[in-house]
Amino acid sequence: MIIPVILAGGSGSRLWPLSRKHYPKQLLKLFGETTMLQQTLLRLEGVPELGDPIVVCNEEHRFMVAEQLNEIGRSEASILLEPVARNTAPALALAAVKARTLVDNPTLLVLAADHMIRDIETFHAAIDAAINAAEADKLVTFGVQPTRPETGYGYIKTDRSGSGQSSYPVQQFAEKPDLPTAERYLAEGNYYWNSGMFVFRVKPFLEELERCSPAVLHAAQAAYDNATTDLDFVRIDRDAFAQAPDISIDYAVMEKSRNVVCVPLDAGWSDVGCWQSYWELSDKDENGNSFVGDAIDVGSKNTLVFSQDKLVATIGVDNLMVINTPDAVLVANKNDAQQVKKVIAEIERRNRTEHLQHREVYRPWGCYDSVDEGTRYQVKRIRVKPGASLSLQMHYHRAEHWVVVKGTAKVELDDNTVLLSENESTYIPIGTRHRLSNPGKIPLEIIEVQSGPYLGEDDIQRFDDEYGRA
C-alpha cells in the first residue's frame, strides 16, 4: 500500500501579506478553484494502490484542513496535530509511527502541501520509479531538474556514472549556494534542486532514523503513544513531542544515510516560495505583466499585481510587485521577493498582528470579518455555515447587537430561544449567556456591533462547544 504523507505545517511567510501564520499558503487558492493542499492530493489520482492520506498540520489550522479534505472527498484522512513546531524530521517520524499501525511496512509518499507541479503524467512516472527503488529498501528523494542557477534552493549531488537509470545514488546534500556555485552546479549537470519530497518504506526509514537521530524517533514514538483522539484529529502529546530536536529530515537522516537515491523530476515543479515564483507561474500579457484581481495598467513591464478587494492602477513601472489585501499592501521590486521576511520581523518588533491573520478570520463554524472599529465599538460581518453553531458563551466587558442580513438565525439568550429572519435583530447585554446557530440550508450572515470598554477576542467564557475548544 502507498500512503501519502502530506506535510502541511508551514507558514509561507514570503507570500505575505496573502499568506499569514493562521492562514498560510497551503490553505489558499493561489492557482484555480482548489487550494494548494487540495491540489497536492488531487494530483495523485491514478497512482495505484493509494491508501488514505496522513496529514500532519499545525493545531491552529485543524478545522480548515479537515474542511478542505472533506471538500475533495478525503474525509478518511488521518490528521495528526503538531502541538509545537519541530521541523520535518519529527513530523515525518510521527507519520511513520502512525502508518505502521495501519498496515505492515507500507510505502510512504511524502509531499509538501504547498508545491505546484504542472506535468502530472511525468510526476506519476517519477513516483513509479521512486516506488520501485523503495521496494529495494532505498530512501528515495526527488531531485528537480534545475532550469537556472537558483540560489534559493538546496541541491542534491548525484552519481551519474550509470547514465540512463531511473534513480541515482546521492553523494551529497548541498546548502543553498551563492550564484557562482549555483552556476557551477548547473554546468556540471549532476546536481538537482532539493524538492523536499520522498518515497520510502516505513521499516527501513525508521531503522535509519534510529541509527542517525534516535532522539527524534524516541520523542515521536512517546508523543504518539500518549496521543488522544479529538473529533477527527489525533492530538499528539505536547510534552513528549517538545522533547524532539528541531531538525529537518535532510539533517536528521538523508545527509547521514548511505542508502539514499535520487529520482530526477522534470515536471514543472515549484515550491511557490515567494512572489517572484508566483509571477513566474502566472499567466502574463505581451509585456510580461501578470494581473490578478481588479487592476488597470498603462505601460508597465514584468510587473505582478495581486489585488483582493480594490482597484490597483499602475503606470510605467518595471519589475514591480504590488500585493493588496484588505488590511495590508506590499510594494517591492521582484528581485527583492526574498526580503519579505524582514517586513514580518519588523511587524513583530512593533507588536502588530498583520503577520498572524487576515481581517477575515476563519473558525470551524464559518468566519468573521472585522469591518470597522474605534473607541469602545467594533463592527463585524459574521458568516455561519448551514447547520453550524457558535459556542454557548458569555462576555464580561462587551454587549452585542446582531442584525440578520441573510438566512435564518437561531439565537439562544439565557433561557430563551428565538428565530430571526432577514432584517430582524436582537441585543445581547453584558453577562448574558448566548449562542448563535444556523438552522437553515444556506449560509447565515449577520452584522454584529460590539460596544464596551474591552473588545478583545479573549473576553469569552465558553460553557459548551461542539468543536472541543476550551
Query: Would you say 222 and 216 are in contact if contact means Cβ atoms under 8 Å apart?
Result: no
Global confidence as pTM: 0.87
pLDDT tens track for 65-74: 999 999 999 9
CATH class of segment(s) 2-270: alpha beta
Percent of the chain at pLDDT above 70? 99
Q: What are phi and psi of 102, to 5 degrees?
A: -95, -40
Q: How far apart are CA 207 and CA 211, in angstroms?
A: 6
Q: How far apart are CA 166 and CA 128, in angstroms?
A: 10
| Structure confidence at residue 89 as a pLDDT band (50, 70, 90) | very high
Q: What are phi and psi of 289, to 5 degrees?
A: -90, 145
Domain positions in the chain are 2-270, 275-349, 360-464
Chain mean pLDDT for the chain: 93
CA nearest to 110, candidates 242, 241, 249: 249
pLDDT tens track for 149-194: 888 889 999 987 766 678 889 988 988 899 999 999 998 888 999 9
Grid cell locating 74: 478525503
Alpha helices in 141-178 (DSSP H): none
> What is the distance in angstroms between the CA of the first residue and the CA of the last residue of the chain?
38
> At residue 273, does pLDDT exceed 80?
yes
pLDDT tens track for 365-396: 999 999 998 999 999 999 999 999 999 999 99
Peptide bond into 17 cis (omega under 30): yes
Please give the CATH architecture assigned to the domain spanning 360-464. Answer: Sandwich (2.60)
Average pLDDT, integer, range 112-120: 94
pLDDT tens track for 431-462: 999 999 999 999 999 999 999 999 988 899 99
Better-scored residue on pLDDT, 369 or 465: 369
- Rg (Cα) of the chain, in Å, rounded? 25
Which pLDDT score is estimated for 366? 93
Average pLDDT, integer, range 16-35: 93
